[in-house]
Amino acid sequence: MADISVIIPVYRQWDGLSRLLCALDAQTLSQSRYKIVVVANELPPKGFDVAGTAQNARMIVCLTPGSYAARNAGIEATTTPFVAFTDADCLPAADWLECLLVRLTKAPKNLCAGRIDIDTPAHETLWAAYDIIRGIPQKHYVSRGYGACANLGVARRVLEAVGSFDVTRFSGGDAAFCRKAGQAGFGISYADEVRVTHPARTTARDVITKARRVRGGQIRAGTVGRRMLWMLASCVPPLRQTWRFLRKKAPCGRKAKALLVLYVLWGVTLWETVRLVGGSNAERQ
C-alpha cells in the first residue's frame, strides 16, 4: 500500500499540469509509495491522459465549483495514511515527497507547510515584479497558524478529526482548514527543505483575477465580524504591505514596479468589495 497521495485540483491549467506530472513521475521517493489523484474541476480536455505522463496517476472529475470542493473529492478518493496538496501550476523539487513524508512520519499530528519559491520569468513584466516581491511567504503564513495548499501535507487522522475544506470558498479555504485543525489541537510546522516552485504571474489579467478571488474569499466567508473587518480594511491604503515590499532584498526597479501594482490592486479590490456587497458573484479562478 502507498504511504502518501498527491491531490491536484485543476481548473483551466492543463498545460502546467503536464509539467507537474512529469516532475512527480521523477520523484526520488519510490513510486510504490505514492499515488497521484488529479481532480478535474471542469470537464477535462478530450484525450488528456494523466496516466500516460505519470505512471501512478489517475483522474477523477468534480464539477462542484472551487478548488476546495475538488480537494475534498480527492481526499474521498484516497486511503493512504498521508495526503499532500499542491497546485496544477506548481513544480516540486525532485525530493519533495521524500522530504515531506519524513516530516509527516516524525510528527503525524502536525500539518506540514513547505517552502514555495517564485520562478522568475525570462521577461519580467510589471505584474511579474509584483508577484515576485509579494511571493507566497509560507513561513510567515505558518507563524499565523496556516499554510497554503500549494505545498501542504497532512495525516489522514487529522483529516478525519477536522473534516473537509469549506466548499463555499473560492479563496482562503486552506487558511480556514489549518486554523480549524489548530483549534482541534493539531499543530502546523514549516519545512524549508520541502520545496515547490510556483511561476510568477506575468499579466494584468492573472494578477488582478487572483486579487479579486482573494477578496471574494475574505468578504464572502468567515464570521460576520471578520467580513466586516475586511470591508473596512478595503478603504485603508496598504501601508503595511508597502513597508514589507520596501524591506525586501530586491533591485530598486523591481520594488518600484511592485509598489505601483500594489496600489493599482488596492483600487481593484476596493471596487471588488463594493461589487460583492452589492450581490455580484465572487471570482473563482
Domain finish residue from 145, 169, 199: 199
10, 9, 196: which is closest to 97 by C-alpha? 196
* pLDDT of 220 higher than 80: no
Residue 149: per-residue pLDDT? 95
Regarding whether 214 and 160 lie in a shared domain, the answer is no
Regarding whether 116 and 223 lie in a shared domain, the answer is no
Regarding whether 162 and 53 lie in a shared domain, the answer is yes
**Mean per-residue pLDDT, 220-243:** 81
Name the pLDDT band for 172 (thresholds 50, 70, 90).
confident
Regarding whether 53 and 192 lie in a shared domain, the answer is yes
How many domains would you assign to the chain? Answer: 2
Domain holding 228, by residue range, is 204-277
pTM > 0.85: yes
Regarding whether 268 and 149 lie in a shared domain, the answer is no
Say which residues have a Cβ less than 8 Å from residue 275's Cβ, sequence separation at least 6. none
In the numeric block, the cell 489541537 is attached to 185
> What is the 8-class DSSP label of residue 88?
T
Burial 40-68, CB ≥16 within 10 A → b, else e: bbeebeeeeebeebbebbebeebeeebbb
Regarding whether 208 and 182 lie in a shared domain, the answer is no
Are the beta carbons of 20 and 59 closer than 8 angstroms?
A: no
DSSP of 214-266, one letter per residue?
Answer: HHHHHHHSS-HHHHHHHHHHTTS--HHHHHHHHHSSS-HHHHHHHHHHHHHHH
Residue 144: per-residue pLDDT? 95
Asked, for residue 283, whether it belongs to a domain, the answer is no
Regarding whether 220 and 182 lie in a shared domain, the answer is no
83, 79, 107, 103: which is closest to 155 by C-alpha? 83
Asked, for residue 284, whether it belongs to a domain, the answer is no
Asked, for residue 213, whether it belongs to a domain, the answer is yes
In this structure, what CATH number is given to the domain that contains residue 74? 3.90.550.10
